[in-house]
A and B are shown apart, each in its own frame.
Chain A
Amino acid sequence: MKPGLKPKHRRLVFVGIAMALLAAATGLILSAMRENIVFFYSPSDIVAKPPSPERRIRVGGLVETGSVEKPGGGVVRFRITDTAMTIPVSYRGILPDLFREGQGVVVQGRFANQTFAADEVLAKHDENYMPREVSDAIKKSGQWKPDAKGAKP
């Protein structure tokens, strides 16, 4: 550091360098921990690398349209998909309000015998908000694209 620098400029440089180093260190830690911060796996992850049946894991995906069955006794069976792979899920309990076919869910439980036994089902919702009339109008006009985020028709 230049000896002629004013104290306030020296402090500015010091704080700047410290913040840059801190940001770099945090970035490295986060990229190293990336795998562990994953809140849920996708059905493709599960099919590619089946987890041990004892491990409690979360899987997220869309509820496949037409797959929901309620055989009675509070049991619900459905399949979740990431459009590439699909896994069957069985669950016994109360479903959240937003649970419906074609919507995102995160299920928590164990994967054994090619079936996911869920003890918790959480509904995910997307970032789109609109009145019902608008969604109806978009669907009617045939412009509904779940991935194109249709708030602006």
Chain B
Amino acid sequence: MKRLDWFANPARFLKVARAVQPWAAGIALGLGAAGLYLGLVASPPDYQQGESVRIMYVHVPAAWMALFCYTMLAMASAVALIWKHPLADLAAKATAPVGAAFTFLALLTGSLWGKPMWGTWWVWDARLTSMLVLFFLYLGYIALNGAFDDPARGAKASAVLALVGFVNVPIIKFSVDWWNTLHQPASVLRAGGPAIHESMLAPLVLMALAFKAYYVWVVLIRIRAEIAAGKIRAARLRATGSAAL
């Protein structure tokens, strides 16, 4: 926890964030460009799916991000509830819309992929349904966070929701193993190693890393914006307070 305490100092955080942000941006853009080139141009078509397999290079990293962001959201919420670090609240609040966007992207690209391959835009199988529930959890978190006049109360209520909703994360991951689903089982994070040929795994991994770097980049911007907004609120309060006297 020493580490976390060290980070929780906003001034120190801002210094680190300013230094890390350009690197994260560079890595996100560089790896993203390489991943898109390999995925959309240089990688071979699949033996079963042909060219449609290229949707995978966006769909799968987006779905991973949906789970990754929720895990971050739950961890930040736990730290905020237990250790009352104000930065953890800001990190959770900054993460939620990013996670919601990636979840939406995963649902959208999955639908576009499902139509030509499965023959349907949508089915109510365990994987798709639990992913839709994740999207609603993100929206619920965002709504609850902003539903109170006092930001601290909103942060606390939404942190509890984030922790309760975390049970959905292992359900999503293992839904394809526990139940008969139309969605196929895991290809990469599975016992026995990836079931994807190296030429297709490389762009997938590049895109996944690019998305992670993008997360760092955007969340740092959002936390810095929240800190700045907090300063403005405090300054306004002081100004109106002195004017009232």
- Chain A interface residues toward B at CB < 8 A: 8, 11-12, 15, 18-19, 22-23, 26, 30, 34, 37-42, 60, 94-99, 103, 106, 120-136, 149, 151-152
Contact = CB atoms under 8 A, between A and B. Distances in A.
Interface string B154-189: 000000000110110001000000111110111100
A26 to B, nearest CB: 5
A124 B84 contact: no
7 contacts: A12-B82, A22-B164, A30-B178, A38-B180, A39-B181, A96-B116, A103-B48
Contact of B179 (A23, A39, A124, A129): A39
A37 B179 contact: yes
B82 A11 contact: yes
Contacts of A151: 194-197
B65 to A, nearest CB: 20
A125 B178 CA distance: 17
A126 B192 CA distance: 15
Interface of B: 44-50, 52-53, 56, 78, 81-84, 116-120, 123-126, 163-164, 166-167, 171, 178-182, 184-187, 190, 192-197, 199-200
Given A22-B167, A96-B118, A122-B123, A129 B180 contact: no
A41 B186 CA distance: 21
A133 B44 contact: yes
Contact of B185 (A22, A127, A135): A127
B interface majority secondary structure? loop
Contact of A125 (B117, B163, B194, B200): B117
Q: Which of A38, A103, A126, A131 has the most CB of B within 10 A?
A: A131
A39 B119 contact: no
A36 to B, nearest CB: 10
A interface majority secondary structure? mixed
Q: Which of B56, B81, B186 has the most CB of A within 10 A?
A: B81
B46 A131 contact: yes
Return the 7 tightest CB-CB contacts between A and B, nearest first. A96-B119, A131-B44, A135-B47, A130-B197, A127-B187, A39-B125, A132-B47
Contact of A97 (B44, B116, B190): B116
Contacts of B199: 131
A98 B195 contact: no
Q: Which of A26, A130, A132 has the most CB of B within 10 A?
A: A130
A39 B49 CA distance: 23
Given A11-B82, A97-B117, A152-B193, A106 B182 contact: yes
Given A15-B81, A127-B185, A151-B194, A39 B180 contact: yes
Nearest to B196: A129
Nearest to B175: A37
A122 B49 contact: no
Contacts of A129: 46, 49, 53, 56, 187, 195-197, 200
Given A15-B163, A96-B116, A122-B120, A132 B44 contact: yes
A19 B46 contact: no
